Amino acid sequence: MKIIHLDGFKKFGGGQKRYVNIASYIANKGHGLILVAPNGARVKESFPGKVYTAPFLGDADLWTLIIIIRIVMKEKPDIIHTHSHHDHWMGSLIKLIFREKIKLIHTRHVDFQVKNNAISRFMYLKSPDHTVTSCKSIKETMKRSFGEAKGFDEDKFEPILTFNYPEKWGIKGKIRKEFGLTHHHRCVSTITRIVDNKGHRHLLRAIPQIVDVLGGMTFFIVGEGPYLPVLRELVKEMNIEKYVCFTGFRENIWDFYADMDLSVFPTENEGIAPGVMESLFYHVPVIASDIGGIPEIITHGWNGLLFPSGDHRELARLVIRLFTDKEEYDKIKENCRIWTEKKRAEDPPGKKMLDRYKRVLANQ
C-alpha cells in the first residue's frame, strides 16, 4: 500500500504530531509513505518517508495542483490523505481527475463548523471516500454543518481519538534546575501554540487571584506563535512578570512535563488537545476548558478538572482547589496513571488508521 499525505501547513502543530505518529506506525508495517508539503514545513524533519515540495499558495494555486498531479502519476499511490483546508481542496481536485484510481481520505483535526455551500459539499461530502475526525466532538460538528445536506452519509465520518505516546521520557529536575527553582516550588505549564483561540489570556487573568491565595509559583507558557507579543504586553500591564515565564519554542517538551505539578489548557476552541493527553501520560493533573474533544479525555473530578471556557475566575478557583486539597490532587494524579495504562492497552491510532485504509480499499 502506498499513501501520499498532503499538508499545506508550515508550522508543526497538534495535527502534524498526530499524523506523523500514525504514519510512523504504518511505515513500520512495510507500507510506502510520501509527503507533499511547503518549503520550510517543519513536519518534513520527522515524516517517515519520501518528501516532495509544493508551494500551497491557496485555492487558486494551479502550480501546486500540477506538481501534485505529476507526483501522483509518478508514485501511483493507493490513497491520498489530506489534513487542512488548502491541501484538502487540492486532494479533492486530484480525486475529481483520477476518480476511482485513487481513494481520498481526509482527517478533520479542527472543531470549526463548515459553511454548507456547494464548494464545501464538494470537498467534504462528495470527494472523500472516508473522513476521519480526531474526536467525537468534531464528527458532531460536521453533522451540524451538513446533516441536512443531500449526500451526507454519517457512516463516512468516523472518529479516531488520536494520541501521541511520548517518544522519550523527560528528565525530572532538569527544568527546575535551569530556572533555579526548588523541588517544592509550584510549577504550572501551558504547552501549546500561542494563538488567540488557545485562551492563554484567561490563564493570565486568573493568576492574581491564584497567587493571592497560594503565594509564589511559576506559570510556564511554552511555545511560540503570533499572539505572543499580546501576551507579553498583558503580563506587563497586569504586573505579573515574576510569576510568568515565556520559554519560546522548545524541542524537548517532555522535560517540562516531567517537572510540572499541573497543566492548564484554557482553550476557546479545540478538537483534540495533544498537550492534555501528554500531561496525563506524565501523570500530571490537568485543568482544561470543557469544550471540543477535551471532555472525551478528561472526566471532571477523576483525571482532571474542567471549567467553562473563558471563565478565568472559575479557572483560578480550581487551581487553588487542587493545590490546597492534597487528597484530591493525589487521587487525580493516580487516576492519570490508570488512564494511561488503559490507553497503552488499546490498539494504537496507527493500527486503527491502517484498518481504515484497508477497509476503504476493499470497497473499490
Check if the beta carbon of residue 4 is closer than 8 Å to that of residue 77: yes
The burial class, CB within 10 Å (0-12 / 13-18 / 19+), for 238 is middle
3-state helix, strand, coil in the chain (%, to 5): 50, 15, 35
- As a whole number of angstroms, the distance between CA 163 and CA 278 comes to 8
Q: Taking the C-alpha atoms of 76, 78, 80 and 81 in order, what is their torsion angle to the nearest 10 degrees?
A: -140
User: Which pLDDT does position 31 carry in this prediction?
Assistant: 98
pLDDT tens per residue across span 46-77: 999 999 999 999 999 999 999 999 999 999 99
- 188 plus 316 within the same structural domain: yes
- As a whole number of angstroms, the distance between CA 20 and CA 51 comes to 13
β-bridge mates for residue 133, sequence order: 108, 159
Domain with 288 in it: 174-345
Count how many domains the chain has.
Answer: 2
Write the single-letter amino acid at 278. Answer: E
- 227 plus 160 within the same structural domain: no
- 262 plus 292 within the same structural domain: yes
- 240 plus 181 within the same structural domain: yes
- 37 plus 98 within the same structural domain: yes
pLDDT tens per residue across span 264-322: 999 998 888 889 999 999 999 999 999 999 999 999 999 999 999 999 999 999 999 99
- 331 plus 239 within the same structural domain: yes
Q: How many C-beta atoms lie closer than 10 Å to residue 60's C-beta?
A: 8
Q: 349-362 and 14-28 are packed helices; what angle lies between their axes, rounded to 10 degrees?
A: 70
User: Which pLDDT does position 360 carry in this prediction?
Assistant: 96
Look up the CATH number of the domain holding residue 222: 3.40.50.2000
- As a whole number of angstroms, the distance between CA 77 and CA 62 comes to 21
Check if the beta carbon of residue 55 is closer than 8 Å to that of residue 63: yes
pLDDT by residue, tens only, the chain of 364 residues: 999 999 999 988 888 988 999 999 999 999 999 999 999 999 999 999 999 999 999 999 999 999 999 999 999 999 999 999 999 999 999 999 999 999 999 999 999 899 999 999 999 999 999 999 999 999 999 999 998 788 889 899 999 987 777 767 899 999 999 999 999 999 999 999 999 999 999 999 999 999 999 999 999 999 999 999 999 999 999 999 999 999 999 988 999 999 999 999 999 988 888 899 999 999 999 999 999 999 999 999 999 999 999 999 999 999 999 999 999 999 999 999 999 999 988 888 999 999 999 999 998 6
For cell 527553582, what's the residue?
181
- 257 plus 295 within the same structural domain: yes
- 119 plus 196 within the same structural domain: no
User: Which pLDDT does position 13 carry in this prediction?
Assistant: 82
User: Which pLDDT does position 364 carry in this prediction?
Assistant: 61
The DSSP symbol for 123 reads I
- 227 plus 295 within the same structural domain: yes
Helix (H) or strand (E) segment spanning residue 48: none
Pairing assessment for the beta strands 218-222 and 103-108 based on DSSP bridges: unpaired
